[in-house]
Structure 1
């Protein structure tokens, strides 16, 4: 990692992942996967949570069915997964530590976007509930012309909407799937969360345990224009 590529630099745009980066929803996906499997009398194989983290929910539903030996249930499992996840998020939407503060600071010096594998309505609902929606000019999710992560499409589209070159854009991610997408898009990458191992960190410029880490807060605060109010 080369932390100075982030901490001595001012990006032209910043693109955030949502689940596990801005919003504390990764645990909801984990619970939703277990409950969805349980509805069919199935359980996940060891290590499934790591293999599923960051995947588009349709890919996750398909993986659940395949690993359970019931590929015929992929569509039904996908529907159950999304329904249960939405219910869990509605009951307990929380931001990740430091996410609000970083977003508020960053919005004063760079256009912000979200690039997520979640359905748009889920992302918008989460951000609205957290009071963060108005800080983001664009939300990009997979659709007919945009492939989900780990393909780079959502990040490339987000940079384009922000009017920034991908090489001048910072991506903020928490999963291998997302880091791969941002790296393939040619962005500098800030990773956040528990240490994920060398495979993931080899693709990021800086890894922090939390968006509330003091070095990151100082970096953002130092770039707030003097006339801006937080």
Structure 2
């Protein structure tokens, strides 16, 4: 990690879920393969990398477009989500070091999750892994790709706040707001370039996790580490994140907008 992060203390940490906390990328890959097979289609070369971090609705549309079956987008999207939910229920696994890192931070500062997955997927997978109780907030998109924001409602004529999926900055901006800190005081933890772009556009500092992508956009993250089990990041957290107050409880998912 560069000195700019090593010498900095965040006031909140916001995690991506898929591929960062939960080892679900392979579940998404398996779900895509099953959905392709169900319709007698073959995955285009390199599709897995192009689909990484993409909202599942966009992924279903991409699956249809790249196999030259655009009319199948709704069916492929539904099949993709159905297969994914089944796979996660069978085998919820955390990424190496994720559970230890989250527990190390819990009670020290606000923690949130910002994800492109449906709330059901995020909360059920984290709960089955024993991690949901450590998070103060879970933020997911309320507007799917291509969907118009909700119309004005209520006496004041204001629309409910629309939260667009990554790479829009909404999920990270909303997570920082719910944690009660300005975006620049929060750290985003991400494994995909889509997520890095979202967090950076929201104004958060960004820690990339996993193999550093061979793409110029990887530079948008402040640093990349091999995994959350890296001794470097654990040492940094112990040194730069204040210890929890005596008797403080780990975070929990709050009610209301999350």
- TM value normalised by structure 1: 0.96
Which residue does the alignment assign to 1:152?
169
Q: Are residue 138 (structure 1) and residue 156 (structure 2) matched? A: no
Following TM superposition, where does structure 1 have runs of at least 4 consecutive aligned residues deviating by more than 6 angstroms? none
Q: Which segment is superposed worse, 195-204 or 12-21?
A: 195-204
Aligned match for 1:225, one of 243, 247, 252: 243
Q: Which segment is superposed worse, 189-198 or 55-64?
A: 189-198
Structure 2 contact 13–186 (Cα < 8 Å) conserved:
yes
Report the Cα offset of residue 200 of structure 1: 3.5
Structure 1: 5+ residue stretches without partners: none
Q: Which has the larger radius of gyration?
A: 2
Which residue does the alignment assign to 1:211?
228
Which residue does the alignment assign to 1:16?
15
Larger helix percent:
1
Structure 1 contact 53–175 (Cα < 8 Å) conserved:
yes
Structure 1 contact 54–175 (Cα < 8 Å) conserved:
yes
Aligned length in residues: 229
Which residue does the alignment assign to 2:5?
6
- TM value normalised by structure 2: 0.86
Say which SS state the counterpart of residue 43 (structure 1) adopts: coil
The separation in 2 between residues aligned to 1:206 and 1:193, in whole angstroms, is 11
Report the Cα offset of residue 112 of structure 1: 0.5
Report the Cα offset of residue 228 of structure 1: 5.2
Which residue does the alignment assign to 1:201?
218
CA RMSD in angstroms, aligned pairs only: 1.5
Structure 2: 5+ residue stretches without partners: 144-161, 251-258
Report the Cα offset of residue 195 of structure 1: 2.2
The separation in 2 between residues aligned to 1:104 and 1:71, in whole angstroms, is 44
Deviation sequence 1:133-174 (CA, Å, 0-9, x none):
111111110103111001101000000110110111100000
Deviation sequence 1:1-44 (CA, Å, 0-9, x none):
x7222221111111000000000000000111111011000011
